[in-house]
Structure 1
Amino acid sequence: MASNDFPILRWGIVGTGVISSWFVTDLSLDRPDRKANHIIQAIGSSSIEKGTTFMDNNIGKNLKRPTVYGSYQELFADTNVDIVYIGTPHAFHNQNCLDAIRAGKHVLCEKPFAINARETKEVFEEAKQKGVFIMEAMWTRFFPLVQKLRELIHSEKAIGDVQRVFCDFSMPMGIASLPASSRLKNPALGAGSLLDIGIYSLTWVLLALEGEFSHDTPDVTANQRLEDGVDMATSALLLYEDGRQGIATCSTLSKTPSTFCRIEGSKVSSKWMELRPRHPLLLQSK
């Protein structure tokens, strides 16, 4: 199919931090399996200077130069923008999403989607009312490795029925030494291990325990280690009605070992899969 036969998506980038730079770089890659032609139409930042620097550093010289705005509201008002990527700190996701939706934009919002369930519900209800698409940008779900893993687990039943999944994502962050204004230390900015890295542990657990169109709702029991109102470590136990269990943990005080996830199945008592972050193409089955 010729490139001009694909639909065109004109993106507005909200936030000019490092995670937005990764997104723009990947979106601009020439992919043989692409399903659309993506254009970086506009960049919204807290200042024209920051937005221009972001454009110069991340938009290839051979690509169309996007419009740079010194505010997010100006980007939302741009009628040439079809869809917005929100890469701001997660404490601002709720308002950024609502503003974009009310301007009639589709939205891809960086993880974690919101600070709490109330904010999430508010955003989804607004999107439904306005008839726009909205999704959390959890790229892990789209990795070829993850798609193959889910095929092995849920379609091919390589280890039988999944019974239990363990996953940990921990990394020392030295939060005690950070200034009070840091997003990792300030509760008002959504500080803590759960929202910053625990979402990955939960995602892996859910990917392994639930099929593509699962509507299961597990009972969740969780505990946290708090210091000055910020969770340094979180442990969550997910219990499903049929007996499946998920154990998701995260910590800002220690480092995850090489095997970060284990998936246990029913074929034999010692059957499981190990996932190792340093070898993303390696699935070990024991």
Structure 2
Amino acid sequence: MANLPTIRWGIITTGLISSWFVDDLVLDRPDAKVKHIIQSIGTSNLEKGRKFVEQHCPNQNPQIYDSYDQVYNDAEVDIVYIGTPHAYHCRDSMQAIAAGKNVLCEKAFAMNAKQAREVFEAAKKKNVYVAEAMWLRHRPLYRKLQELLHQDKVIGDVTRVFADFASEIDISSLPPTSRYRDLALGAGSLLDIGVYPLTWLAVADEKDMEMPRIVASQSHEEGIEVTTSAILQYSSGRMGIASSTTKTKGSPGRIFAVIHGTKGHIEVSGDTPSIPESFTVWARQTDPGSPEKALFDKEQYESKTYEFPKVGRGFVWEADNTALDVLEGRKESSIVPWAMTVHMMEIMDEIRRQGGTVYPGE
């Protein structure tokens, strides 16, 4: 670790997602590419901040501030990680950028595409690094899947992708101030978990980022979106089907995404779509002949399963890649570039428009 380049982080908020991120930053990893230092933490309560340090980074000695501005203005901070609720992402990113800080902001990056563009325009003017913290795209499993699909063409041309995320949340039992129930905080399944099925659909997109034709539907309870279903149709004929819900819980270890191609299909498995563990390639070896044989004759397929070990909570690759971007002077991520973030926000904007979900101020 002593010979590794060092990056110093400022952490905004002491909530759950920030705790997971910091847990991974301080992991002792033999394959680490960067030494991560927790330089400062911004919190609404100093005692809360001290408990956060004791639990999640006890071997470091970060400065604890009771305001975010103090983190942004800390000269020792190289990059700010923003883990606040969706509704504050734009505000917090803009304040960090105004102070000249590099930013890694949690997904969903903003409430809508307009906010995302505003943040990137501010970053461009200030000449600072900004990236969306979509950790799924950084995972070795996702990167390997992209390689097999686009370079090796293991299932031919992709024709259809299906992905689903189900995470049960009893909204009626939560206080009105909960981020899961407060529309002003971006409550609903789409921004919170629906972004993952859409990201699995995007694995078939080789960065041309065509805006698909979208047919979408949403249902609501107590004013909060609880189910989203969307069909994305591309000019090539490729189809994507994405769904998310807070009405039921997905089964652990299940297949949550299937990618179909002209020469086979791929099944992706794990406890949740945000934490994939393996995928199996089913490559067709012979001409299927009749439709009945194509459907039911497994002997014509050769299967290979790719398994990926768990490392911490799964943020380590995102953290290393982001740190190297900043240390090497880049202003946006090659893995999650600005255009990709805006493209995803535009898709979610259209889904919400059709589904009838509107956030305050829009």
Instruction: State whether structure 2 residue 221 is matched by structure 1 residue 227.
Output: yes
2:179 maps to which residue?
183
Q: Distance in 2 between matches of 1:194 and 1:148?
A: 26
2:127 to 119, 131, 136: 131
Establish whether residue 281 from structure 1 lines up as the match of residue 274 from structure 2: no
Q: Return the letter of the residue paired with 2:187.
A: A
Q: Where do 1:110-121 residues align within 5 Å?
A: 110-121=106-117
Separation in structure 1 between the aligned mates of residue 123 and residue 216 of structure 2, nearest angstrom: 30
Q: Say which SS state the counterpart of residue 270 (structure 2) adopts.
A: coil
> RMSD of the alignment, in Å?
1.6
Q: Secondary structure at the match of 1:22?
A: helix
CA distance in 1, matches of 2:17, 2:220: 27
The CA distance in 1 between the partners of 2:232 and 2:66, in whole Å, is 44
> Post-superposition shift, 1:32?
3.3
Q: Give the whole-Å Cα distance in 1 for the aligned partners of 2:81 and 2:90.
A: 13
Quote how far apart the aligned CAs of 1:36 are.
Answer: 2.5
Q: Distance in 1 between matches of 2:209 and 2:113?
A: 17
Q: How does 1:209-224 map to 2 (within 5 A)?
A: 209-211=204-206, 213-224=207-218
Deviations 1:218-261 (A, max 9, x none): 23232111223211100112121211111110011123352211
Matched, 1:160 2:156: yes
Q: Distance in 2 between matches of 1:3 and 1:74?
A: 28
Residues of 2 paired with 1:27 and 1:83: CA distance?
Answer: 13
Deviation at 1:133, TM superposition (A): 0.9
Aligned sequence identity (%): 49
What TM-score, normalized by structure 2, do the two folds share? Answer: 0.73
Within-5 A mapping of 1:48-87? 48-61=46-59, 63=60, 65-87=61-83
Within the alignment, does 1:239 sit opposite 2:233 as a pair?
yes
Partner SS for 1:276: strand
| Greater CA drift, 41-50 or 254-263 | 254-263
Question: Could you tell me how far 1:49 is from its partner in structure 2?
Answer: 1.2
Q: Which amino acid aligns with 1:218?
A: P
1-side partners of 2:222 and 2:58: how far apart?
A: 44
Q: Which has the higher contact order (CA 8 A, sep 6+)?
A: 2
Counterpart in the other structure of 1:11: 9
Residue 247 of structure 2, aligned match among 253, 257, 266: 253
2:205 aligned partner, one-letter code: E
Report the Cα offset of residue 284 of structure 1: 4.8
Aligned to 2:168: 172
Specify the SS of the correspondent of 2:255: coil
Tell me the equivalent position of 2:101.
105
- Gap regions ≥5 residues in structure 1: none
Task: Choose 187-196 or 247-256, whichever is displaced more.
Answer: 247-256
Q: Which amino acid aligns with 1:10?
A: R
Once the two structures are superposed, what CA deviation does each residue of 1:143-177 show, in whole Å capped at 9, x if it has no partner? 12112211111111110011110000012211122
d(CA) in 1 for partners of 2:241, 2:93: 31
| 1:124 partner letter | F
So what's the TM-score if we normalise by structure 1? 0.92
Counterpart selection for 2:34 from 33, 36, 51:
36
> In structure 2, what residue type is equivalent to 1:148?
K
The one of 265, 285, 292 equivalent to 1:272 is 265
Structure 1 ranges of 4+ moved more than 4 A: none
Distance in 2 of aligned mates of 1:121 and 1:283 = 37
Shift of 1:88: 1.0
Offset of residue 31 of structure 1: 3.0
In structure 2, how many angstroms separate the alpha carbons of the residues matched to 1:16 and 1:149?
Answer: 33
